[in-house]
Amino acid sequence: MVVNSDKKLESVLHIKSEIMRAAGEYLREQGFVEILPVILSPVTDPLHHETYAGTVDYYGRPYTLTKSMILHKQIALRTVPRIFAFSPNVRMEPEARAPLRRYLAEFVQLDLEVRDASRDEIMAIGEGLFVAVVRAVLVTCADELTTLGRVLTVPEIPFARIPYQNATEQYGEHYDDQLSSSLFAPAWLIDFPRAVREFYDREDPTRPGVLLDMDLIYPEGYGEALSGGEREHTLPRILRRLKQDGIPPERFSAYLRFVKEGLPASAGFGIGIERLTRYICGLDHIMEARLFAKVPGAVDAL
Ligand code: ASN
């Protein structure tokens, strides 16, 4: 047997395990039920940005690997009012994104959704979750943080809220990195325009074209942590949004069957576990945050 005595990697894996444990514990305390993830389905998140489709021949039909569980989360809420899943996602991003150091073709997001919740309520859950995870790591992984040379602080709640329009006015179209580098604590980016997000994020009835959604941005240049928002859940509004995005409704017929029967109103988000691990451990590259990491474009990964 060959023992791999990589203290840094071992510390990261300990911390990552604690992050998942503490996150699950916090959500259970908040009344959430953990469900198991979906890997294969006729539908997945269309994603606004370009990714190559992971398609599998499923008894002669094209099924897709999950890019996010958003559509399944909405359907699961018909049965249980608060759910979460550690959900593996496959997003084969263009190779050009590799230098950003925060993309993996295979990653896990902690995806959660709450029936009848508002964006404010779901942001409060996000803040509570983040603080609970940082506190737990500080208490149980002090030695590992020392090995990594990482100094972590518990941020104050509530986090700052920055409207998307302000961020782009200040930093331009590629605001992410500059905004993140300018922050000393996590901050919310809110109110994305309809044109830059997916059809399922709810349009504000009082501000057409503006969505009731949000991202969480890490400080110190670590970039985007999570995306989420309130959801569209009625058939006419979903059909209109698909049309505006130029997506043929037939592509989502398996999902639309459930929409026709009725979906609950909801809000939720998904937070990337490797990105959270990268931030908490202070890692230069996301590939250091998981075993068997697959960086966009690199085809020799295990
Ligand atoms: N999981 C995210 C959400 O709940 C969607 C995503 O990852 N694109 O909104």
Structure confidence at residue 196 (pLDDT)? 95
Ligand 1 pocket test, candidate residues 70, 74, 86, most atoms within 8 A of CB? 70
- Residue nearest atom 9 in ligand 1 by C-alpha distance: 228
Reduced to 3 states (helix: H, G, I; strand: E, B; else coil), residue 189 is strand
Structure confidence at residue 50 (pLDDT)? 82
Structure confidence at residue 91 (pLDDT)? 95
Reduced to 3 states (helix: H, G, I; strand: E, B; else coil), residue 191 is coil
Measured in Å, residue 201 CA sits from the centre of ligand 1 at 9
d(CA 28, CA 30): 5
d(CA 223, CA 178): 9
CA nearest neighbour of 176 among 143, 212, 235, 216: 216
- 87 ligand 1 Cβ < 6 A: no
Structure confidence at residue 136 (pLDDT)? 98
Mean pLDDT of 129-141: 98
1 has a pLDDT exceeding 80:
no
Mean pLDDT of 232-248: 98
By the 8 A CB rule, do 287 and 104 touch? yes
**pTM for the full model?**
0.97
> Rg of the Cα trace of the chain?
19
Number of Cβ within 10 Å of residue 127's Cβ equals 18
Measured in Å, residue 230 CA sits from the centre of ligand 1 at 11
Q: What is the pLDDT of residues 267-288, one digit of tens each?
A: 999 999 999 999 999 999 999 9
- 189 ligand 1 Cβ < 6 A: no
Q: For the chain, which domains are there? A: 5-289 (3.30.930.10)
Structure confidence at residue 21 (pLDDT)? 98
